Amino acid sequence: MAQKTVKIGVTALVLGLALGGLLWSTLSEGTEYYKHVDEVMTNPAQWQGKALQLHGFVVRDSILRKRDSLEYVFEIQNKGQSVRARYTGIVPDTFKDDSEVVLKGRLQADGFHVEPNGVMAKCPSKYEPNKSAASGS
């Protein structure tokens, strides 16, 4: 009976270690942080090279597009902190000055590098009630 208990214990331990190792390797590669610009830019060295979803607002008049290309350089900010972002690709129709955005990519020494299809923009006016209708005028 004792030998059977030992075999069951060893099997359970091996399975537990294998499952734990698989879980750790899967999660460590796919970890992506969701942070606001001000959280990241207070200590940028801590976040360099890590996969991030960076939330902020496009700084007015900061969007620059290289002529005859899909290369964009712009700034996003939140609570007084800002970071320059670089993106190559098609941007959503709602991507414009002052729009709320979430960028997927990595922070580097020269700014935030957005991955392909990594720009998600929100248009707040589409979902807010019309002020004249809300006031009853």
* Burial state string for 36-64 with b = 16 or more CB within 10 A and e = fewer than 16: bbbbbbeeeeebeeeebebbbbbbeeebe
Q: Which residue has the higher pLDDT, 21 or 63?
A: 63
Evaluate the CA torsion angle 85, 89, 92, 96 in order and state its sign.
positive
pTM of the model: 0.70
**How far is it, in rounded angstroms, from Cα 134 to Cα 29?**
48
Work out the burial of residue 127: count CB atoms within 10 Å of its CB; fewer than 13 is exposed, 13-18 middle, 19 or more buried.
exposed
Q: What fold does the segment set 32-125 form as a domain?
A: OB fold (Dihydrolipoamide Acetyltransferase, E2P) (2.40.50)
Q: Helices (DSSP H) in the chain: which residue ranges?
A: 2-30, 37-41, 44-47, 131-134
- pLDDT by residue (tens digit) across 80-131? 999 999 999 999 989 999 999 999 999 999 999 999 999 998 866 555 555 5
- pLDDT by residue (tens digit) across 41-93? 999 999 999 999 999 999 999 999 999 999 999 999 999 999 999 999 999 98
